[in-house]
Chain A
Amino acid sequence: MSMFLETLIGGLLSGTMYSLVAIGFVLIYKASGVFNYAQGSLLLFAALTFVTLTENGVPAYAAIAITVALLIATAIAIEKLLLRPLTNRSPMTLFMATLGLSYVVEGVAQGIMGSQVRALNLGIEDLPIFVGDILISQFDLVAAGVALALVVVLSLLFNRTRIGIQLRGVADDTRAALSLGIDINRIWQIVWAVAGLVGLVAGLLWGARQGVQFSLSLVVLKALPVLIIGGFTSIPGAIVGGLIVGAGESLAETYIGPFLGGGITPWLVDAAGFALLFVGRGGPAGGGSRGGV
Protein backbone atom coordinates (compact mmCIF):
# COMPACT_ATOMS: atom_id res chain seq x y z
CA MET A 1 0.00 0.00 0.00
CA SER A 2 2.74 2.45 0.88
CA MET A 3 4.42 1.63 -2.41
CA PHE A 4 1.21 2.53 -4.23
CA LEU A 5 0.87 5.77 -2.27
CA GLU A 6 4.49 6.65 -2.86
CA THR A 7 4.12 6.10 -6.58
CA LEU A 8 0.88 8.05 -6.69
CA ILE A 9 2.13 11.04 -4.69
CA GLY A 10 5.41 11.15 -6.57
CA GLY A 11 3.44 11.13 -9.81
CA LEU A 12 1.05 13.86 -8.69
CA LEU A 13 3.91 16.08 -7.60
CA SER A 14 5.81 15.70 -10.84
CA GLY A 15 2.49 16.24 -12.63
CA THR A 16 2.43 19.82 -11.32
CA MET A 17 5.53 20.39 -13.45
CA TYR A 18 3.52 19.38 -16.51
CA SER A 19 0.72 21.67 -15.42
CA LEU A 20 3.16 24.57 -15.28
CA VAL A 21 4.15 24.04 -18.88
CA ALA A 22 0.54 23.60 -19.99
CA ILE A 23 -0.60 26.81 -18.28
CA GLY A 24 1.71 28.81 -20.53
CA PHE A 25 -0.16 27.47 -23.55
CA VAL A 26 -3.57 28.01 -22.01
CA LEU A 27 -2.87 31.71 -21.40
CA ILE A 28 -2.04 32.45 -25.01
CA TYR A 29 -4.81 30.24 -26.31
CA LYS A 30 -7.35 32.04 -24.17
CA ALA A 31 -6.24 35.40 -25.48
CA SER A 32 -5.91 34.64 -29.16
CA GLY A 33 -7.27 31.18 -29.89
CA VAL A 34 -3.80 30.16 -31.00
CA PHE A 35 -1.62 27.27 -29.99
CA ASN A 36 1.62 29.07 -29.25
CA TYR A 37 4.33 26.90 -30.71
CA ALA A 38 6.96 29.26 -29.33
CA GLN A 39 6.11 28.57 -25.67
CA GLY A 40 8.92 26.01 -25.46
CA SER A 41 11.42 28.47 -26.92
CA LEU A 42 10.35 31.14 -24.45
CA LEU A 43 10.85 28.64 -21.67
CA LEU A 44 14.33 27.81 -22.95
CA PHE A 45 15.13 31.49 -23.44
CA ALA A 46 14.11 32.30 -19.87
CA ALA A 47 16.11 29.46 -18.32
CA LEU A 48 19.14 30.15 -20.51
CA THR A 49 19.16 33.83 -19.61
CA PHE A 50 18.99 33.04 -15.91
CA VAL A 51 21.79 30.48 -16.09
CA THR A 52 24.05 32.70 -18.14
CA LEU A 53 23.60 35.57 -15.71
CA THR A 54 24.29 33.48 -12.61
CA GLU A 55 27.32 31.86 -14.27
CA ASN A 56 28.74 35.31 -14.75
CA GLY A 57 28.45 36.11 -11.08
CA VAL A 58 25.13 37.94 -11.03
CA PRO A 59 23.33 37.14 -7.77
CA ALA A 60 20.21 34.99 -8.18
CA TYR A 61 17.67 37.64 -7.21
CA ALA A 62 19.17 40.13 -9.66
CA ALA A 63 19.28 37.47 -12.35
CA ILE A 64 15.58 36.80 -11.81
CA ALA A 65 14.78 40.50 -12.02
CA ILE A 66 16.79 40.95 -15.22
CA THR A 67 15.24 37.84 -16.80
CA VAL A 68 11.75 39.03 -15.91
CA ALA A 69 12.49 42.45 -17.41
CA LEU A 70 13.79 40.78 -20.58
CA LEU A 71 10.72 38.60 -20.85
CA ILE A 72 8.42 41.60 -20.52
CA ALA A 73 10.42 43.42 -23.19
CA THR A 74 10.20 40.32 -25.39
CA ALA A 75 6.43 40.15 -24.93
CA ILE A 76 6.07 43.80 -25.95
CA ALA A 77 8.32 43.23 -28.96
CA ILE A 78 6.33 40.15 -30.01
CA GLU A 79 3.10 42.10 -29.78
CA LYS A 80 4.42 45.07 -31.75
CA LEU A 81 6.36 43.21 -34.43
CA LEU A 82 4.36 40.03 -34.85
CA LEU A 83 0.83 40.20 -33.50
CA ARG A 84 -0.14 43.75 -34.36
CA PRO A 85 0.49 43.38 -38.10
CA LEU A 86 -1.50 40.14 -38.02
CA THR A 87 -4.57 41.49 -36.19
CA ASN A 88 -7.76 39.87 -37.50
CA ARG A 89 -5.89 37.17 -39.41
CA SER A 90 -6.91 33.55 -39.08
CA PRO A 91 -5.67 31.48 -36.14
CA MET A 92 -3.70 29.35 -38.62
CA THR A 93 -1.74 32.39 -39.77
CA LEU A 94 -0.98 33.27 -36.18
CA PHE A 95 0.03 29.71 -35.44
CA MET A 96 2.51 29.77 -38.33
CA ALA A 97 3.85 33.05 -36.99
CA THR A 98 4.48 31.46 -33.59
CA LEU A 99 6.24 28.60 -35.37
CA GLY A 100 8.59 31.09 -37.00
CA LEU A 101 8.96 32.93 -33.73
CA SER A 102 10.11 29.76 -31.99
CA TYR A 103 13.03 29.43 -34.42
CA VAL A 104 14.00 33.06 -34.00
CA VAL A 105 13.89 32.91 -30.20
CA GLU A 106 15.80 29.61 -30.04
CA GLY A 107 18.36 30.75 -32.58
CA VAL A 108 18.99 34.12 -30.97
CA ALA A 109 19.10 32.69 -27.45
CA GLN A 110 21.56 29.95 -28.34
CA GLY A 111 23.55 32.16 -30.66
CA ILE A 112 24.23 34.63 -27.87
CA MET A 113 24.35 32.35 -24.87
CA GLY A 114 25.69 29.14 -26.33
CA SER A 115 24.17 25.72 -26.88
CA GLN A 116 26.16 23.52 -24.52
CA VAL A 117 24.41 21.85 -21.59
CA ARG A 118 24.47 24.01 -18.47
CA ALA A 119 23.81 22.91 -14.94
CA LEU A 120 21.27 24.94 -13.07
CA ASN A 121 21.40 24.79 -9.31
CA LEU A 122 18.44 26.32 -7.53
CA GLY A 123 19.80 25.30 -4.15
CA ILE A 124 17.01 22.81 -3.54
CA GLU A 125 18.18 19.46 -2.22
CA ASP A 126 16.94 16.67 -4.43
CA LEU A 127 17.18 14.10 -1.66
CA PRO A 128 13.97 12.30 -0.81
CA ILE A 129 12.57 12.76 2.66
CA PHE A 130 10.25 10.58 4.67
CA VAL A 131 6.75 11.83 5.28
CA GLY A 132 5.31 9.19 7.58
CA ASP A 133 6.60 6.05 5.92
CA ILE A 134 6.42 7.47 2.41
CA LEU A 135 9.46 8.75 0.55
CA ILE A 136 8.90 12.05 -1.20
CA SER A 137 11.30 14.04 -3.33
CA GLN A 138 11.99 17.44 -1.77
CA PHE A 139 12.46 18.93 -5.16
CA ASP A 140 9.04 17.75 -6.29
CA LEU A 141 7.55 19.16 -3.13
CA VAL A 142 9.07 22.58 -3.75
CA ALA A 143 8.07 22.49 -7.41
CA ALA A 144 4.50 21.69 -6.46
CA GLY A 145 4.49 24.56 -3.96
CA VAL A 146 5.76 26.97 -6.57
CA ALA A 147 3.17 25.78 -9.08
CA LEU A 148 0.44 26.25 -6.51
CA ALA A 149 1.58 29.80 -5.71
CA LEU A 150 1.70 30.64 -9.40
CA VAL A 151 -1.82 29.38 -9.95
CA VAL A 152 -3.09 31.49 -7.06
CA VAL A 153 -1.48 34.61 -8.53
CA LEU A 154 -2.86 33.84 -12.00
CA SER A 155 -6.36 33.30 -10.73
CA LEU A 156 -6.16 36.60 -8.86
CA LEU A 157 -5.09 38.27 -12.07
CA PHE A 158 -7.70 36.74 -14.33
CA ASN A 159 -10.70 36.28 -12.07
CA ARG A 160 -10.54 39.36 -9.94
CA THR A 161 -9.67 41.87 -12.61
CA ARG A 162 -11.49 42.85 -15.72
CA ILE A 163 -8.40 41.72 -17.60
CA GLY A 164 -10.09 38.33 -17.44
CA ILE A 165 -13.24 39.63 -19.13
CA GLN A 166 -11.27 41.64 -21.67
CA LEU A 167 -9.07 38.67 -22.41
CA ARG A 168 -12.02 36.45 -23.17
CA GLY A 169 -13.56 39.23 -25.19
CA VAL A 170 -10.46 39.64 -27.33
CA ALA A 171 -10.28 35.89 -27.87
CA ASP A 172 -13.97 35.61 -28.73
CA ASP A 173 -14.19 38.46 -31.19
CA THR A 174 -11.28 40.80 -31.78
CA ARG A 175 -13.32 43.12 -33.98
CA ALA A 176 -16.01 43.60 -31.37
CA ALA A 177 -13.41 44.09 -28.65
CA LEU A 178 -11.82 46.83 -30.73
CA SER A 179 -15.14 48.54 -31.27
CA LEU A 180 -15.60 48.70 -27.50
CA GLY A 181 -12.28 50.44 -27.10
CA ILE A 182 -10.64 47.48 -25.39
CA ASP A 183 -6.91 48.02 -25.76
CA ILE A 184 -6.09 44.69 -27.37
CA ASN A 185 -2.44 45.57 -27.78
CA ARG A 186 -2.09 46.02 -24.04
CA ILE A 187 -4.00 42.80 -23.38
CA TRP A 188 -1.68 40.87 -25.68
CA GLN A 189 1.39 42.38 -24.08
CA ILE A 190 0.15 41.41 -20.63
CA VAL A 191 -0.76 37.89 -21.70
CA TRP A 192 2.53 37.20 -23.48
CA ALA A 193 4.49 38.66 -20.58
CA VAL A 194 2.59 36.47 -18.12
CA ALA A 195 3.06 33.42 -20.38
CA GLY A 196 6.77 34.27 -20.47
CA LEU A 197 6.90 34.44 -16.67
CA VAL A 198 5.14 31.10 -16.39
CA GLY A 199 7.73 29.83 -18.87
CA LEU A 200 10.48 31.20 -16.63
CA VAL A 201 9.19 29.32 -13.59
CA ALA A 202 8.72 26.13 -15.60
CA GLY A 203 12.09 26.60 -17.30
CA LEU A 204 13.93 26.99 -13.99
CA LEU A 205 12.32 23.94 -12.44
CA TRP A 206 12.73 21.73 -15.50
CA GLY A 207 16.19 23.15 -16.14
CA ALA A 208 17.31 22.29 -12.62
CA ARG A 209 16.20 18.76 -13.23
CA GLN A 210 17.39 18.16 -16.81
CA GLY A 211 20.09 20.74 -17.31
CA VAL A 212 19.56 23.81 -19.46
CA GLN A 213 19.99 23.08 -23.14
CA PHE A 214 18.07 22.97 -26.38
CA SER A 215 16.06 19.89 -25.46
CA LEU A 216 14.47 21.92 -22.67
CA SER A 217 12.25 23.49 -25.31
CA LEU A 218 10.88 20.03 -25.96
CA VAL A 219 9.30 19.67 -22.52
CA VAL A 220 6.38 21.46 -24.11
CA LEU A 221 5.55 18.16 -25.76
CA LYS A 222 4.68 16.98 -22.28
CA ALA A 223 2.00 19.64 -22.28
CA LEU A 224 0.08 18.20 -25.22
CA PRO A 225 -1.59 15.29 -23.41
CA VAL A 226 -2.22 17.63 -20.49
CA LEU A 227 -4.02 20.06 -22.80
CA ILE A 228 -6.00 17.31 -24.45
CA ILE A 229 -7.21 16.12 -21.06
CA GLY A 230 -7.66 19.52 -19.47
CA GLY A 231 -8.80 21.59 -22.42
CA PHE A 232 -7.01 24.47 -24.09
CA THR A 233 -8.82 27.26 -22.31
CA SER A 234 -8.91 26.18 -18.72
CA ILE A 235 -6.21 26.86 -16.13
CA PRO A 236 -7.89 24.53 -13.59
CA GLY A 237 -8.11 22.04 -16.46
CA ALA A 238 -4.37 22.32 -17.03
CA ILE A 239 -3.73 21.63 -13.37
CA VAL A 240 -6.04 18.64 -13.21
CA GLY A 241 -4.68 17.40 -16.54
CA GLY A 242 -1.10 17.69 -15.29
CA LEU A 243 -1.93 15.77 -12.13
CA ILE A 244 -3.68 13.02 -14.08
CA VAL A 245 -0.80 12.74 -16.53
CA GLY A 246 1.82 12.73 -13.76
CA ALA A 247 0.02 10.16 -11.64
CA GLY A 248 -0.92 8.02 -14.63
CA GLU A 249 2.65 8.02 -15.91
CA SER A 250 4.13 7.09 -12.59
CA LEU A 251 1.58 4.37 -11.77
CA ALA A 252 1.79 2.88 -15.25
CA GLU A 253 5.58 2.77 -15.13
CA THR A 254 5.47 0.92 -11.83
CA TYR A 255 2.56 -1.43 -12.42
CA ILE A 256 2.25 -1.91 -16.18
CA GLY A 257 5.79 -1.12 -17.26
CA PRO A 258 7.34 -4.44 -16.18
CA PHE A 259 4.95 -6.33 -18.45
CA LEU A 260 5.89 -4.21 -21.46
CA GLY A 261 9.59 -4.31 -20.83
CA GLY A 262 9.75 -0.99 -18.94
CA GLY A 263 10.49 2.49 -20.19
CA ILE A 264 6.93 3.20 -21.23
CA THR A 265 6.81 6.70 -19.73
CA PRO A 266 7.90 8.60 -22.82
CA TRP A 267 5.09 7.42 -25.04
CA LEU A 268 2.34 6.10 -22.82
CA VAL A 269 0.74 9.43 -21.96
CA ASP A 270 0.85 10.69 -25.50
CA ALA A 271 -0.81 7.50 -26.64
CA ALA A 272 -3.47 7.96 -23.96
CA GLY A 273 -4.02 11.56 -25.02
CA PHE A 274 -4.29 10.50 -28.61
CA ALA A 275 -6.85 7.86 -27.69
CA LEU A 276 -8.83 10.51 -25.82
CA LEU A 277 -9.02 12.57 -29.01
CA PHE A 278 -10.85 9.71 -30.64
CA VAL A 279 -13.19 9.13 -27.73
CA GLY A 280 -14.45 12.67 -27.57
CA ARG A 281 -13.43 16.26 -28.15
CA GLY A 282 -12.09 18.02 -25.09
CA GLY A 283 -11.75 16.45 -21.72
CA PRO A 284 -13.59 16.11 -18.44
CA ALA A 285 -12.31 19.43 -17.18
CA GLY A 286 -12.13 21.41 -20.38
CA GLY A 287 -15.42 20.59 -22.02
CA GLY A 288 -14.51 21.46 -25.59
CA SER A 289 -11.97 23.87 -26.93
CA ARG A 290 -13.89 26.93 -25.87
CA GLY A 291 -15.33 25.57 -22.68
CA GLY A 292 -14.89 26.52 -19.06
CA VAL A 293 -12.44 29.01 -17.73
Chain B
Amino acid sequence: MGIHAAPALEVRNVSLSFKGVKAISDLSFRVEGKEICALIGPNGAGKSSLLNIINGVYVPDSGEIVFEGEHFQRMRPGDAARRGIGRGFQNNALFSGMSVIDNVIAGLSRHSKVALVEEMFRLPRARREESDFRERAHAVLHLFDLEKHANTPVGMLPYGVQKKVEMARAIVAEPRLLLLDEPLAGMNAGEKQEIAAVIQRLNAELKLTVVLIEHDVGIVLKLAHHVVVLDYGRKLADGPPEAIRDNKDVIAAYIGSDHAEVAV
Protein backbone atom coordinates (compact mmCIF):
# COMPACT_ATOMS: atom_id res chain seq x y z
CA MET B 1 0.00 0.00 0.00
CA GLY B 2 1.11 3.57 -0.62
CA ILE B 3 1.37 6.20 2.03
CA HIS B 4 -2.00 7.29 3.34
CA ALA B 5 -2.80 10.29 5.43
CA ALA B 6 -3.90 9.06 8.86
CA PRO B 7 -7.70 8.75 9.03
CA ALA B 8 -9.53 11.37 11.08
CA LEU B 9 -11.19 8.71 13.18
CA GLU B 10 -10.63 5.05 13.59
CA VAL B 11 -12.75 2.64 15.59
CA ARG B 12 -10.67 -0.41 16.47
CA ASN B 13 -12.14 -3.69 17.70
CA VAL B 14 -14.65 -1.92 19.90
CA SER B 15 -17.07 -4.01 21.96
CA LEU B 16 -19.73 -2.80 24.34
CA SER B 17 -22.32 -4.67 26.35
CA PHE B 18 -25.06 -3.65 28.71
CA LYS B 19 -25.59 -6.10 31.57
CA GLY B 20 -24.38 -8.97 29.45
CA VAL B 21 -26.26 -8.01 26.31
CA LYS B 22 -23.86 -7.29 23.49
CA ALA B 23 -24.61 -3.91 21.93
CA ILE B 24 -21.48 -3.74 19.79
CA SER B 25 -19.15 -6.64 19.00
CA ASP B 26 -15.62 -6.23 17.79
CA LEU B 27 -16.41 -3.34 15.49
CA SER B 28 -13.73 -1.65 13.39
CA PHE B 29 -13.89 1.00 10.68
CA ARG B 30 -12.13 4.18 9.64
CA VAL B 31 -13.40 7.59 8.74
CA GLU B 32 -11.16 9.60 6.46
CA GLY B 33 -10.70 13.32 7.05
CA LYS B 34 -13.28 15.61 5.44
CA GLU B 35 -15.66 12.84 4.50
CA ILE B 36 -19.30 12.36 5.41
CA CYS B 37 -19.67 8.90 6.87
CA ALA B 38 -23.17 7.53 7.44
CA LEU B 39 -23.99 4.79 9.95
CA ILE B 40 -27.10 2.92 8.98
CA GLY B 41 -28.84 -0.15 10.29
CA PRO B 42 -32.02 -1.23 12.02
CA ASN B 43 -33.00 0.07 15.43
CA GLY B 44 -30.89 -1.51 18.15
CA ALA B 45 -27.97 -2.09 15.79
CA GLY B 46 -25.69 -0.14 18.12
CA LYS B 47 -25.40 3.09 16.16
CA SER B 48 -26.17 5.57 18.94
CA SER B 49 -24.08 3.55 21.38
CA LEU B 50 -21.19 3.91 19.00
CA LEU B 51 -21.52 7.70 18.87
CA ASN B 52 -21.69 7.68 22.65
CA ILE B 53 -18.41 5.79 22.76
CA ILE B 54 -16.75 8.17 20.32
CA ASN B 55 -17.59 11.21 22.41
CA GLY B 56 -16.98 9.53 25.72
CA VAL B 57 -20.42 9.03 27.20
CA TYR B 58 -19.95 5.24 27.21
CA VAL B 59 -16.77 3.38 27.96
CA PRO B 60 -16.21 0.41 25.64
CA ASP B 61 -15.51 -3.01 27.20
CA SER B 62 -12.58 -3.41 24.86
CA GLY B 63 -11.04 -1.84 21.80
CA GLU B 64 -10.00 1.73 21.24
CA ILE B 65 -10.82 4.94 19.43
CA VAL B 66 -8.12 6.68 17.45
CA PHE B 67 -8.84 10.34 16.87
CA GLU B 68 -6.34 12.32 14.80
CA GLY B 69 -3.59 9.85 15.56
CA GLU B 70 -4.15 9.70 19.32
CA HIS B 71 -5.33 6.49 20.92
CA PHE B 72 -8.04 6.39 23.54
CA GLN B 73 -9.26 3.41 25.53
CA ARG B 74 -11.83 5.76 26.85
CA MET B 75 -12.63 9.32 25.93
CA ARG B 76 -14.16 11.75 28.39
CA PRO B 77 -16.95 13.99 27.10
CA GLY B 78 -15.14 17.16 28.11
CA ASP B 79 -11.95 15.89 26.46
CA ALA B 80 -13.81 14.96 23.30
CA ALA B 81 -15.19 18.48 23.08
CA ARG B 82 -11.81 20.06 23.74
CA ARG B 83 -10.18 17.91 21.09
CA GLY B 84 -12.67 19.05 18.48
CA ILE B 85 -15.50 16.53 18.50
CA GLY B 86 -18.93 18.16 18.26
CA ARG B 87 -22.15 16.30 18.94
CA GLY B 88 -25.82 16.50 18.05
CA PHE B 89 -28.32 14.28 19.85
CA GLN B 90 -31.14 12.06 18.69
CA ASN B 91 -33.81 14.01 20.49
CA ASN B 92 -32.66 17.57 20.68
CA ALA B 93 -30.70 18.25 23.80
CA LEU B 94 -31.01 22.00 23.79
CA PHE B 95 -31.17 24.33 26.76
CA SER B 96 -34.84 24.98 26.24
CA GLY B 97 -35.31 27.91 28.58
CA MET B 98 -32.51 29.87 26.94
CA SER B 99 -32.63 31.97 23.77
CA VAL B 100 -31.18 30.68 20.52
CA ILE B 101 -28.18 32.97 20.73
CA ASP B 102 -27.44 31.96 24.35
CA ASN B 103 -27.60 28.30 23.38
CA VAL B 104 -25.06 28.90 20.66
CA ILE B 105 -22.84 30.98 22.93
CA ALA B 106 -22.94 28.15 25.48
CA GLY B 107 -21.26 26.10 22.75
CA LEU B 108 -18.24 28.38 23.09
CA SER B 109 -17.93 28.02 26.87
CA ARG B 110 -14.79 25.99 26.84
CA HIS B 111 -12.99 28.62 24.76
CA SER B 112 -13.34 31.24 27.42
CA LYS B 113 -9.99 32.55 28.61
CA VAL B 114 -10.99 35.28 31.00
CA ALA B 115 -11.38 34.86 34.75
CA LEU B 116 -14.70 35.05 36.55
CA VAL B 117 -13.74 38.27 38.28
CA GLU B 118 -12.92 39.90 34.96
CA GLU B 119 -16.36 38.98 33.68
CA MET B 120 -18.14 40.17 36.80
CA PHE B 121 -16.66 43.63 36.50
CA ARG B 122 -16.70 43.78 32.71
CA LEU B 123 -12.98 44.38 32.43
CA PRO B 124 -11.70 45.08 28.91
CA ARG B 125 -10.56 41.54 28.18
CA ALA B 126 -13.95 40.15 29.24
CA ARG B 127 -15.77 42.68 27.09
CA ARG B 128 -13.64 41.82 24.08
CA GLU B 129 -14.27 38.13 24.55
CA GLU B 130 -17.98 38.70 25.01
CA SER B 131 -18.29 40.62 21.76
CA ASP B 132 -16.06 38.12 19.97
CA PHE B 133 -18.27 35.23 21.14
CA ARG B 134 -21.39 37.11 20.13
CA GLU B 135 -19.96 37.76 16.68
CA ARG B 136 -19.02 34.12 16.18
CA ALA B 137 -22.45 33.00 17.34
CA HIS B 138 -24.16 35.38 14.94
CA ALA B 139 -21.99 34.19 12.07
CA VAL B 140 -23.12 30.62 12.72
CA LEU B 141 -26.76 31.68 13.05
CA HIS B 142 -26.40 33.35 9.68
CA LEU B 143 -25.04 30.13 8.19
CA PHE B 144 -28.17 28.30 9.38
CA ASP B 145 -30.50 31.16 8.49
CA LEU B 146 -31.49 31.44 12.15
CA GLU B 147 -30.81 35.12 12.78
CA LYS B 148 -34.47 36.03 12.96
CA HIS B 149 -34.86 33.62 15.89
CA ALA B 150 -31.75 34.82 17.75
CA ASN B 151 -33.60 36.04 20.83
CA THR B 152 -36.43 33.51 20.85
CA PRO B 153 -36.44 30.94 23.65
CA VAL B 154 -35.52 27.65 21.99
CA GLY B 155 -38.43 25.78 23.53
CA MET B 156 -40.87 27.90 21.54
CA LEU B 157 -39.46 26.98 18.14
CA PRO B 158 -40.69 24.11 15.94
CA TYR B 159 -38.70 20.88 15.99
CA GLY B 160 -37.03 21.39 12.63
CA VAL B 161 -35.71 24.79 13.64
CA GLN B 162 -34.53 23.44 17.01
CA LYS B 163 -32.56 20.80 15.16
CA LYS B 164 -30.75 23.56 13.28
CA VAL B 165 -30.05 25.38 16.55
CA GLU B 166 -28.55 22.22 17.95
CA MET B 167 -26.26 21.87 14.95
CA ALA B 168 -25.34 25.54 15.19
CA ARG B 169 -24.40 25.05 18.83
CA ALA B 170 -22.38 21.96 17.97
CA ILE B 171 -20.30 23.68 15.29
CA VAL B 172 -19.83 27.17 16.71
CA ALA B 173 -16.66 26.03 18.47
CA GLU B 174 -15.33 24.83 15.10
CA PRO B 175 -14.98 21.13 15.78
CA ARG B 176 -13.11 19.02 13.25
CA LEU B 177 -15.39 16.04 13.67
CA LEU B 178 -19.15 16.37 13.98
CA LEU B 179 -21.28 13.48 15.26
CA LEU B 180 -24.97 13.71 14.36
CA ASP B 181 -27.61 11.31 15.62
CA GLU B 182 -30.54 11.26 13.20
CA PRO B 183 -30.32 14.91 12.18
CA LEU B 184 -33.22 14.44 9.73
CA ALA B 185 -35.61 12.49 11.93
CA GLY B 186 -39.06 13.96 12.39
CA MET B 187 -38.73 16.37 9.49
CA ASN B 188 -40.75 16.82 6.36
CA ALA B 189 -39.19 16.35 2.93
CA GLY B 190 -38.45 20.05 2.47
CA GLU B 191 -36.74 20.37 5.85
CA LYS B 192 -34.73 17.23 5.19
CA GLN B 193 -33.41 18.70 1.95
CA GLU B 194 -32.50 21.89 3.75
CA ILE B 195 -30.61 20.18 6.57
CA ALA B 196 -28.89 17.82 4.16
CA ALA B 197 -27.74 20.85 2.17
CA VAL B 198 -26.43 22.49 5.36
CA ILE B 199 -24.48 19.35 6.27
CA GLN B 200 -23.01 19.29 2.78
CA ARG B 201 -21.98 22.93 3.08
CA LEU B 202 -20.38 22.43 6.50
CA ASN B 203 -18.47 19.54 5.07
CA ALA B 204 -17.37 21.35 1.93
CA GLU B 205 -16.74 24.86 3.28
CA LEU B 206 -15.51 24.19 6.80
CA LYS B 207 -13.73 20.93 5.86
CA LEU B 208 -15.68 19.26 8.62
CA THR B 209 -15.58 15.49 8.96
CA VAL B 210 -19.10 14.24 9.67
CA VAL B 211 -20.29 10.94 11.13
CA LEU B 212 -24.07 10.72 11.08
CA ILE B 213 -26.77 8.21 11.82
CA GLU B 214 -29.73 8.31 9.48
CA HIS B 215 -32.62 6.04 8.64
CA ASP B 216 -33.65 7.68 5.39
CA VAL B 217 -31.48 5.54 3.13
CA GLY B 218 -32.46 7.53 0.04
CA ILE B 219 -30.88 10.68 1.48
CA VAL B 220 -27.94 8.82 2.98
CA LEU B 221 -26.91 7.42 -0.38
CA LYS B 222 -26.91 10.92 -1.86
CA LEU B 223 -25.30 12.70 1.09
CA ALA B 224 -22.61 10.32 2.35
CA HIS B 225 -19.24 9.57 0.83
CA HIS B 226 -18.93 6.44 2.90
CA VAL B 227 -21.52 4.19 4.48
CA VAL B 228 -21.09 1.73 7.34
CA VAL B 229 -23.95 -0.72 7.85
CA LEU B 230 -24.48 -2.14 11.34
CA ASP B 231 -26.73 -4.98 12.40
CA TYR B 232 -26.87 -6.48 15.89
CA GLY B 233 -23.71 -4.60 16.81
CA ARG B 234 -21.68 -6.05 13.94
CA LYS B 235 -20.44 -4.46 10.78
CA LEU B 236 -22.42 -5.80 7.86
CA ALA B 237 -20.94 -3.68 5.12
CA ASP B 238 -18.55 -0.78 4.72
CA GLY B 239 -17.92 1.16 1.53
CA PRO B 240 -18.99 3.88 -0.87
CA PRO B 241 -22.75 4.36 -1.27
CA GLU B 242 -22.85 2.71 -4.70
CA ALA B 243 -21.39 -0.50 -3.30
CA ILE B 244 -23.79 -0.48 -0.35
CA ARG B 245 -26.82 -0.07 -2.59
CA ASP B 246 -26.06 -3.34 -4.36
CA ASN B 247 -24.95 -5.30 -1.31
CA LYS B 248 -27.08 -8.43 -0.85
CA ASP B 249 -26.47 -8.65 2.92
CA VAL B 250 -27.61 -5.09 3.41
CA ILE B 251 -30.81 -5.67 1.49
CA ALA B 252 -31.42 -8.83 3.52
CA ALA B 253 -30.87 -7.02 6.82
CA TYR B 254 -33.35 -4.35 5.93
CA ILE B 255 -36.04 -6.71 4.73
CA GLY B 256 -38.25 -7.61 7.63
CA SER B 257 -37.19 -4.57 9.55
CA ASP B 258 -39.15 -1.35 9.90
CA HIS B 259 -37.12 0.26 7.22
CA ALA B 260 -37.62 -2.29 4.48
CA GLU B 261 -39.64 0.06 2.34
CA VAL B 262 -37.07 2.84 2.33
CA ALA B 263 -34.08 0.60 1.83
CA VAL B 264 -33.17 1.27 -1.78
Interface residue ranges of A180-198 to B (CB < 8 Å): 180-183, 190
Q: Which residues of B contact A157 (CB under 8 A)?
A: 116, 120
User: Which chain A residues have a beta carbon within 8 Å of chain B's beta carbons?
Assistant: 156-157, 160-163, 165-166, 168-169, 172-173, 175-183, 190, 290, 293
A187 to B119, CA, bound (A): 15
Do A180 and B97 form a contact, CB below 8 Å, given A161-B120, A162-B119?
no
* Nearest CB in chain A: distance from B57 CB, A: 7
A156 to B169, CA, bound (A): 25
* Nearest CB in chain A: distance from B143 CB, A: 18
A290 to B153, CA, bound (A): 13
- A182 (CB) vs chain B CBs: closest residue: B109
- A233 (CB) vs chain B CBs: closest residue: B97
A210 to B30, CA, bound (A): 68
CB-based contact A160/B122 at 8 Å:
yes
CB-based contact B82/A165 at 8 Å:
no
Q: How many residues of B contact A (CB 8 A)?
A: 32
* Nearest CB in chain A: distance from B120 CB, A: 5
CB-based contact A162/B97 at 8 Å:
no
Most buried by B among A173, A176, A293: A176
A175 to B87, CA, bound (A): 10
CB-based contact A169/B120 at 8 Å:
no
Question: Does residue B63 face the partner (Cβ distance < 8 Å to A)?
Answer: no
CB-based contact A178/B122 at 8 Å:
no
CB-based contact B106/A181 at 8 Å:
no
CB-based contact A173/B93 at 8 Å:
yes
A264 to B79, CA, bound (A): 56
CB-based contact B109/A165 at 8 Å:
yes
CB-based contact A166/B106 at 8 Å:
yes
CB-based contact A173/B95 at 8 Å:
yes
17 A-B pairs, CB-CB below 8 angstroms? A157-B116, A162-B119, A163-B119, A165-B98, A172-B94, A176-B94, A176-B95, A178-B57, A178-B78, A178-B81, A179-B57, A179-B170, A180-B106, A180-B109, A181-B80, A181-B173, A182-B110
CB-based contact A165/B97 at 8 Å:
no
What does the 1/0 interface line of B8-26 toward A look like (CB < 8 Å)?
0000000000000000000
CB-based contact A175/B93 at 8 Å:
yes
Do A180 and B110 form a contact, CB below 8 Å, given A173-B93, A173-B94?
yes
A179 to B105, CA, bound (A): 14
CB-based contact B81/A181 at 8 Å:
yes
Question: B55's contact among A156, A165, A168, A179, by CB below 8 Å, is which?
Answer: A179
CB-based contact A169/B106 at 8 Å:
yes
Most buried by A among B95, B170, B173: B95
* Nearest CB in chain B: distance from A89 CB, A: 14
Question: Does residue B238 face the partner (Cβ distance < 8 Å to A)?
Answer: no
Interface residue ranges of B132-165 to A (CB < 8 Å): none
- A178 (CB) vs chain B CBs: closest residue: B77
* Nearest CB in chain A: distance from B159 CB, A: 16
Question: Does residue B254 face the partner (Cβ distance < 8 Å to A)?
Answer: no
Q: Which residues of A contact B55 (CB under 8 A)?
A: 179
CB-based contact A175/B89 at 8 Å:
yes
Question: Does residue B112 face the partner (Cβ distance < 8 Å to A)?
Answer: yes
Interface residue ranges of B49-91 to A (CB < 8 Å): 55, 57, 77-78, 80-82, 86-87, 89
Question: B120's contact among A156, A165, A166, A183, by CB below 8 Å, is which?
Answer: A156
* Nearest CB in chain B: distance from A60 CB, A: 25
Do A172 and B95 form a contact, CB below 8 Å, given A162-B119, A183-B78?
yes
15 further contact pairs, Cβ within 8 A, besides A161-B116, A179-B87: A160-B120, A162-B119, A163-B116, A168-B97, A168-B98, A169-B106, A173-B93, A175-B89, A176-B93, A176-B94, A178-B77, A179-B55, A179-B80, A180-B107, A293-B97
Question: A172's contact among B96, B112, B121, by CB below 8 Å, is which?
Answer: B96
- 8 smallest A-B Cβ distances: which pairs? A181-B81, A176-B93, A181-B110, A161-B119, A178-B77, A179-B87, A172-B95, A173-B93
